[in-house]
Structures are given as structure tokens and as C-alpha cells.
Amino acid sequence: MLNSTSYTHGAIQYDDLLRDFKEHTERLKITTARLRQDIEATRTLAIKENEEFPVIEREKNGMYTRQLDRHECTAHILIEKKIQLQQSIAKMRHNIAQNQQDLEAVRQALAPKELEKREMIQERAQQVELLVEKKNQLYNRIRQKQQEQNKVIKTETDNALLTELELQTFRHALQLEIVNTYEALRFEFKCISKQAPEKIYHVALTITDTDVYTVIECQPDSVLPRVLKELDVLNQDRELFNFIKKLRKIFQQSANA
């Protein structure tokens, strides 16, 4: 009974092992077939690449050769242009140096004339300044003279404001007669002396080119110093009627002394 059971169990194990062996063998065949296919494909690809490799290399070499020739041609052209440019620069530098030498020669030739011209301009500027200064001085003198003349005109105008009636009254009160001669203006007074009322006392004045009053006659001549003193006042204030009143007073003091 035991032997039969052991045999049966051993048969089952054998069958299992046989089945596993067959499966393993089948998988090994499949793997081997795949390996053969891969090897064949690899061999075919290698042969094809070996056949195409020389053609690709030749094309690459030709392309590299053409590119190299092109680069060499471009480099040669650039070198020629560089040489031409260097020659042009050298020529330009030579021309610039020559122009600078010519310019320096012209400057040296013109230096004396330029200095002379500057000195002449400076001298003329000084002359112009002197002329302007003289012009200003002359203008100031003319302006001052005009102011003085305006002052004289104003004084004379103020004196001329006396009406004819006032002048007649003045003449009557002072017993004055004004005689305008060719050479002078003569002032004649009466009623000076109580002993001789008809006796005439007079002073003759003239005016110079500088508008200065001058006495050319005085009667009596004993009062001339006092008259000349009042004349100085007249030439300062230009008050002629005040001077006339002072003359009458001087004559009265002299006659009644």
C-alpha cells in the first residue's frame, strides 16, 4: 500500500518536471530564434552602413573642401582689402602731415602781419576811446553852457515881464531915463541933488560876448569903485533893476554927503 502511494507520488513529480522542461525548452527556442533574428538584422545593418559610409564620407569631405576653399577665398579678399586700407591710411597721414607743414609755414608768414594788425586795432581802439571821452566832455560843456544860457534867458525873461506901465512907474519914481545907444545902455538919473535937481548922474553899461556887464562910463567918476562892486553882484544874480536902484542910492549918498 505504501509502495503504491510512493510510486504514484513520484510519477506526479516526474510529470511536473517533464512539463517544466518542455516549457523551458520552448522558451529557449523562442529566445534563440529572436537572437538569431537580431543578429541577422544587425549584420544586415552593418553591411549597409559599410556600403554607405564611403559615400557619406566623400560628400562630407567635399563639403568641407568647398567650405575651406570659400573661407580661404574670403580671407584672401579681406587681406587684400586690409592692405589697400592700410595704404590709404598711410597716404592720408602723409597728406595730413604735409598740410600741417604748409599751414605752419603760412602761420609763420602771417605772424608779423597779424601782430601789426592787432597793434593797429588796439591803437584805433584807444583813439576811439579818446574821441568818445572828448565827445562826452564836449557834450557836458555844451549842456552846462545851455543850462547857463537857459538860466540867463530865464532871468532876462523874468526881468522883461515888467509891463510898460510898471516901467513908466519905475522911471517916474526914480527919475530914470534909459538911453539905448549903439555902443552901450545908458542909465540917466535926475533929482539926485537937492541943490541941483536937474543935474544928470549916469552910468553906461555894455555886455561882452560872454554876457558880462561892463561899465564904460560913470559920472561922477568918484563913485566908480562902489559902482564896480555892485556890478560884480549884477554879473552873478543878473538882477538889473536891483542894480539900478542901488545906483540911484549911491548917487544920492555921494551928492548929499
pLDDT given at position 2: 44
CA dist., res. 132 & res. 75, Å (int): 76
Considering the domain boundaries, does residue 219 fall inside one?
A: yes
Q: Are 178 and 187 in contact (CB under 8 A)?
A: yes
Instruction: Check residue 206 and give its pLDDT.
Output: 94
Q: From the CA atom positions of the chain, what is the Rg in Å?
A: 73
Per the prediction, the chain carries an average pLDDT of 79
Taking residues 6-13, what's their average pLDDT?
61
- What is the residue range of 233's domain? 163-255
Of 225 and 22, the structure prediction assigns the larger pLDDT to: 225
Q: Is 157 a domain residue?
A: no
Q: Which helix (H) or strand (E) holds 176?
A: strand 176-180
Does 194 map to a domain?
Answer: yes
| CATH label of the domain that carries residue 167 | 3.30.457.50
pLDDT value at position 1?
Answer: 47
In this prediction, residue 19 has a pLDDT band, given cuts at 50, 70 and 90, of: confident
Q: Which amino acid is at 174?
A: L
Question: What percent of the chain stands above pLDDT 70?
Answer: 75
Residues 6+ apart with CB under 8 A from 174: 189, 244, 245, 248
Specify if 190 maps to a domain.
yes
Quote the percentage of the chain above a pLDDT of 90.
18
- Residue 238 backbone class (left: φ over 0; alpha: ψ -120 to 50; beta: rest): left
In this predicted model, what pLDDT tens digit does every residue of 61-85 receive, in sequence order? 566 566 666 767 777 787 887 788 7
Within-domain flag for 149 = no
| 178 sits in which H/E element | strand 176-180
Is 236 part of a structural domain of the chain?
A: yes
Three-class secondary structure assignment of 112-165:
HHHHHHHHHHHHHHHHHHHHHHHHHHHHHHHHHHHHHHHHHHHHHHHHCCCCHH
Q: Is residue 175 part of a domain?
A: yes
Q: What is the pLDDT of residue 43?
A: 75
Number of domains in the chain: 1
For residue 177, the surrounding DSSP H or E stretch is strand 176-180
pTM of the model: 0.37
Q: For position 62, what pLDDT does the model report?
A: 63
Is the pLDDT assigned to residue 4 strictly greater than 60?
no
Q: Is residue 245 part of a domain?
A: yes
